[in-house]
A and B are shown apart, each in its own frame.
Chain A
Amino acid sequence: EVQVLESGGDLVQPGGSLRLSCIASGFAFSGNAMVWVRQAPGKGLEWVSVMTAGGTTFYADSVKGRFTISRDNSKNTLYLQMNSLRADDSAVYYCAKTKGTNLRYYFDYWGQGTLVTVSS
């Protein structure tokens, strides 16, 4: 059974940092691209970042230069390092497994999300 489980969400002050983790099981983690998607309160889903199986990374313009995605295939774990956090980064952050080729991915398994609140 495929499972993804996020952790690391917390209350953090503006300008602070946080690292989210996503541990996956039930599939060949190292062979799959993985994504982070977020949902701010009252808003829709917003793609944040993707890391391909080969290690290539892409970011939404809203987080470029502040967030870093990484993975540890030995631990089946995806990370999102978030720096210089702003109030508009407050959201539930979801990790998802992808399927597809040549970046034309869709997201077939999602976690329950972890809540990040940026506030003083």
Chain B
Amino acid sequence: QSVLTQPPSVSGAPGQRVTISCTGSSSNLGAGNDVHWYQHLPGTAPRLLIYANTNRPSGVPDRFSGSKSGTSASLAITGLQPEDETDYYCQSYDSSLRGFVFGIGTKVNVL
């Protein structure tokens, strides 16, 4: 059971838009702590996609966007491509646990 809640999977056809939700609580997202998103193909190095809620590192396509409001956040992928089929994780800091927390991960399936 993760501190941050994500759906186990989302699906979309190539070219469509999908969103992944990340729900926290008053000790993490609701405490004003930022949310960050990672793309991860198991067995490889995770890749930072979005940092501080809405910011894309250099090299990340603008098809990926993030938002946050209160205790919830979301990652949107527009113009879905076959190479987007992998796992996505949200992450934040939990002030009560005094540590970092991840969501359980969401598998994006490209139909």
Interface residues of A (CB under 8 A from B): 35, 37, 39, 44-47, 50, 58-61, 92, 94, 96, 99-100, 103-113
Where chain A touches its partner, the secondary structure class is: strand
**Which one of B9-17, B19-27, B74-82, B102-110 is at the interface?**
B102-110
How many B residues touch the partner, as a band?
A: 20 to 34
Query: Is the pair B45, A110 in contact by a Cβ cutoff of 8 Å?
Result: yes
Interface residues of B (CB under 8 A from A): 2, 33-34, 36, 38, 40, 42-48, 51-52, 57, 87, 89, 91, 93, 97-105
Query: Is the pair B91, A106 in contact by a Cβ cutoff of 8 Å?
Result: yes
Query: Is the pair A107, B48 in contact by a Cβ cutoff of 8 Å?
Result: yes
Q: A44-B104, A103-B93 are in contact. List 14 more A-B contacts (CB 8 A).
A: A44-B2, A44-B102, A44-B103, A44-B105, A47-B102, A50-B99, A58-B99, A61-B97, A94-B45, A106-B34, A106-B52, A107-B48, A108-B51, A108-B57
